[in-house]
C-alpha cells in the first residue's frame, strides 16, 4: 500500500504595511489638518455661530445701554463717556472666552464618538494634535470676536485700522490661553455634561472677576486679590488700554474707568500683561500635552 503525503500548504502571503516615520513635517501637517477640521466644524454649525454672537451683543447693547442710562440719571462719574464704550473690551474678551471653551469641548465630543482614539493612534505625536486643537480653537474664537470688533461704532469706539488690528491680535492671544485651559480640562473628562458643567462653574467667576463689566479700582481687598489672580484680567485690561488710547477722555475719567491692573500699588504695564497671557497659554497647552500623553 502506498501512502500519499500531501504537499505542505503554501504560506500565507504577508502584506507589508509601511507607516511613515514621525517627523516635524508630518506633525506640522497634523496641526494643519486639525486646525482645518476645527474651521469646517465651526462653519457648518450655524446654530453655534449665531448663538455665540447673541450673548455678547446682548451684553453690549442691552446691558451697556441700561448702565449708561443709570449713570446718566445718577450722580456717577461717567461724564461724557458711554458705558458701552467701557464694557466693549470686556465684551470682546467674553466673546472669545465662550467660543474658545466650546471649541475645547469638542475633544470630549470626539472621545464619546471614538474619533479621538483614531487621532491618538495616528503616526503623529500627540503634542501635534493638542497644538492643532489650541491654535484651531483660538483662530475660531478670534473669527467670532472679530464680528464683535466690527460693531465698535455702536459702542462709540473709533474705527481706527491700527486699533482694530491690535484688538484682533490681543483677542487671539487671550483665546489661545483660554483654549489651552479648556483642552487641559477636557483631556480627562469623559462626558459632555461634566465638561460643560465644569466650564460653566469656571467661566462665570472668571468673567465677573476680570474687570470686564466694572473698573478694578476701589474694590474690597478680598475681591481685589481675586481679580489679580484671575487669568482673564490680564486679557481684558490690554484691550481696554488699547481702546482708551484712541479716546479723548479726561484724566479723571481715565482714573475712574481705566485704572489698569496694579500689584500693591504698582501699575502693571501692558507688555507684561501680554507676556503673562502668552506664558499662561503655552503653560496650559504644555500641561494638556502631558495629559494627552497619559490618556488611553
How far, in Å, CA of 76 to CA of 23, rounded? 61
CA-derived radius of gyration, the chain: 25
Q: Please give the pLDDT value at position 2.
A: 52
Q: Please give the pLDDT value at position 279.
A: 95
Q: Indicate the burial class of 104 (C-beta count within 10 angstroms; 0-12, 13-18, 19 or more).
A: buried
Please, what's the b/e burial string for 132-148 (b: 16 or more CB within 10 A of its CB; e: otherwise)? Answer: bbbbbbbbbbbbbbbeb
Q: Please give the pLDDT value at position 14.
A: 56
Per the DSSP assignment, residues forming a β-bridge with 266 are: 263
Position of cell 507676556?
A: 275
Give tens-digit pLDDT for 39-88: 887 777 777 677 767 777 777 777 766 666 655 544 455 555 678 888 88
Residue 266 sits at φ, ψ, to 5 deg, of -90, 125
Position of cell 460643560?
A: 196
How far, in Å, CA of 287 to CA of 185, rounded? 10
Per the DSSP assignment, residues forming a β-bridge with 267 are: 262
Helix (H) or strand (E) holding 267: strand 266-267
Give tens-digit pLDDT for 275-284: 999 999 999 9
Amino acid at each position: 500500500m502506498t501512502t500519499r503525503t500531501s504537499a505542505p500548504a503554501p504560506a500565507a502571503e504577508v502584506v507589508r504595511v509601511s507607516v511613515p516615520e514621525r517627523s516635524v513635517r508630518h506633525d506640522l501637517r497634523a496641526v494643519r489638518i486639525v486646525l482645518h477640521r476645527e474651521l469646517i466644524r465651526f462653519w457648518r454649525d450655524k446654530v453655534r455661530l449665531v448663538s455665540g454672537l447673541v450673548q455678547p451683543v446682548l451684553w453690549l447693547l442691552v446691558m451697556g445701554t441700561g448702565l449708561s442710562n443709570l449713570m446718566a440719571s445718577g450722580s456717577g462719574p461717567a461724564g461724557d463717556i458711554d458705558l458701552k464704550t467701557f464694557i466693549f473690551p470686556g465684551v470682546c474678551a467674553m466673546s472669545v472666552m465662550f467660543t474658545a471653551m466650546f471649541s475645547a469641548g469638542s475633544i470630549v465630543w470626539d472621545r464619546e464618538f471614538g474619533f479621538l482614539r483614531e487621532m491618538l493612534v495616528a503616526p503623529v505625536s500627540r503634542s501635534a494634535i493638542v497644538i492643532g486643537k489650541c491654535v484651531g480653537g483660538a483662530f475660531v474664537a478670534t473669527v467670532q470676536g472679530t464680528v464683535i470688533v466690527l460693531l465698535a461704532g455702536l459702542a462709540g469706539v473709533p474705527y481706527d485700522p491700527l486699533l482694530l488690528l491690535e484688538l484682533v491680535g490681543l483677542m487671539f492671544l487671550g483665546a489661545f490661553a483660554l483654549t489651552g485651559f479648556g483642552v487641559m480640562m477636557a483631556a480627562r473628562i469623559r462626558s459632555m455634561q461634566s465638561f460643560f458643567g465644569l466650564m460653566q462653574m469656571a467661566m462665570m467667576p472668571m468673567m465677573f472677576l476680570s474687570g470686564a463689566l466694572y473698573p478694578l479700582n476701589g474694590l474690597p481687598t478680598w475681591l481685589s486679590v481675586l481679580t489679580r489672580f484671575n487669568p482673564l484680567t490680564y486679557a481684558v485690561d490690554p484691550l481696554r488700554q488699547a481702546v482708551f488710547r484712541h479716546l479723548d477722555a479726561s484724566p479723571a475719567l481715565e482714573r475712574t474707568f481705566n485704572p489698569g491692573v496694579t500689584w500693591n500699588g504698582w501699575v502693571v504695564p501692558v507688555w507684561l500683561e501680554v507676556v503673562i497671557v502668552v506664558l499662561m497659554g503655552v503653560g496650559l497647552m504644555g500641561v494638556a500635552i502631558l495629559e494627552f500623553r497619559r490618556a488611553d
